[in-house]
Copies of this chain bind each other. A is one copy, B any other.
Amino acid sequence: MTLELEKMPKQPGRLKIQKRADLVTEEIKQLITQKNLRPGAKLPMEKELQRLFSVSKSTIREALKSLEVQGLITVSTGPTGGATIIEVPLERTFQLLQNYLFFKEVSMEDIYAARRLLEPELAAGSVPFLSDEQLDALEHNIETCQPTSHEPSRLVRQRQADLDFHDILAAANPNPFLRFACELINEMLRRLVVFSTQTPPEEHAKFGCANVKFHAEIAKAARARDSERVRALMRAHMEEASQYVKRLDGRLDGRLILDSEMAPRLRPLS
Contacts and interface: CB of A to CB of B under 8 A. Distances in A.
Given A15-B263, A93-B97, 11 more contacts: A1-B194, A3-B194, A3-B253, A26-B259, A61-B62, A65-B69, A96-B97, A111-B177, A113-B121, A118-B118, A181-B181
Interface of A: 1, 3, 5, 8, 13-16, 18, 21-22, 25-26, 29-30, 32-33, 38-39, 58, 61-62, 65-66, 69-72, 87-88, 90, 92-93, 96-97, 99-106, 109-111, 113-114, 117-118, 121, 125, 175-178, 180-181, 194-197, 253, 255-256, 258-260, 263-264
Contact of A106 (B16, B102, B176, B259): B176
A106 B177 CA distance: 6
Contact of A88 (B15, B16, B102, B125): B102
Nearest to A257: B29
* Chain B CB within 10 Å, residue with most, of A121, A196, A255: A255
